[in-house]
A = this chain, B = another copy of it.
């Protein structure tokens, strides 16, 4: 994709004095090269490019604080980034300013097996963390697919395939270190599993998309690796059958660890990309965690429910390599979809609805996709009612993009009409700002703005994001 590059604000957003001060602080960890700036202009799958004026690579919380003090004094916008895998333009710099990439803050500071928690710097990625934990019998389950940084995952309130059982970043962050716009360092939360001591600042910063401060350290809950893991696939005649099965699995309180829906087109894409050899029908991919007996019992009950809803061929993948192949294929849904249409760019949408509205939501978007003549597989974390439409678009066909936008808008309208959300896990960023007030109402958005004004009075933190 060739992004549309937007010019920086007239005169730039960063003065020479600010640059000199940052240069004194960071030396060669400050860059103003065009190539480097271009890397922080877009983010994953985002069509516009807004390059920052400079890019900084701090190594410590104290250094982030020093950067913030300089930027605060010189009124320089600050845009945090990590692995750069966010999807809604979060890391772009539409007001110019300083991109602050935290990915060199990659130390795992403290693992406590006894307390099943870990303190990491913001730039540690989830794969790095789980690799480091592999001998502890512990893991961090939240898995948005991409190998995102944990600071970024906290900032966007990420979730993914395991959220149906283990929750989201909102429920798995115990505490944060935050650098405020003026450089003040605060610590939120603590090591207790719960607290009723004052306002829940942790959850205010989680999901705030860098608009209130820099998240520099994250303390996370960990979980014991399950004794047994079982995965399975199941084909359904209809989308409705697959979704009815999910609803009943949830109602029966089967503690399913993952339950992913793939429509027939997504299965076709994954077959071609990952050689899965599955029938090209709607599918559920499931995973169960527990004891040997528990996993067997969960899976038998799920298989029975699936069969009662037209599910055929509940296929087991118990060997680690088979499970790994299955989930790798699931995680590569994006690339698999892209490969369906040579030269395409993929625009991944993200809504979340109450389970009772899920069948209708998917069915309606299928009809809209067909009417609009689009290629757009659907895949989702359906235990939570969350799904994605992966619009495969010709980058040189603005009319096609327009049709996709219409489908996307209608999909969000329907989600909001049934009490759902315009984003289950991607965040608002630049793309979904127009939906924020439609989802929450003007008064609630005014309340969010009042919080923003209170904590970032100069509007320096990730400007133009979340709010129109």
Q: Which residues of A contact B (CB under 8 A)?
A: 112-117, 137, 156-159, 163, 167-168, 170-171, 180, 184-188, 190-201, 203-204, 206-208, 223-224, 226, 247, 250-253, 255, 291, 293-294, 297, 350, 352-356, 384-386, 415, 418-428, 432, 435-436, 439-441, 443-445, 447-448, 450-455, 466
Contact = CB atoms under 8 A, between A and B. Distances in A.
Contacts of A191: 353-354, 418-420
A158 B194 CA distance: 10
Contacts of A208: 199
Contact of A199 (B171, B188, B207, B439): B207
A276 B189 CA distance: 39
In the A-B complex, the 3 residue pairs with the closest CB atoms: A191-B419, A454-B454, A195-B421
Contacts of A201: 440, 444, 447-448
B194 A163 contact: yes
30 contacts: A114-B354, A115-B355, A116-B251, A157-B196, A186-B447, A190-B420, A191-B419, A192-B424, A193-B354, A193-B355, A193-B385, A194-B352, A194-B384, A194-B386, A194-B421, A195-B423, A195-B424, A196-B350, A196-B421, A197-B423, A198-B207, A198-B439, A199-B466, A200-B207, A203-B204, A224-B252, A293-B297, A447-B455, A453-B454, A454-B454
Contact of A187 (B252, B297, B441): B441
A429 B297 CA distance: 46
Contact of A427 (B117, B190, B196, B255): B196
B185 A443 contact: yes
Contact of A355 (B114, B158, B252): B114
Contacts of A117: 354
**What is the copy number of this chain in the assembly?**
2
Given A158-B196, A186-B441, A192-B352, 9 more contacts: A116-B250, A116-B355, A190-B439, A192-B354, A192-B415, A197-B440, A198-B439, A200-B203, A447-B455
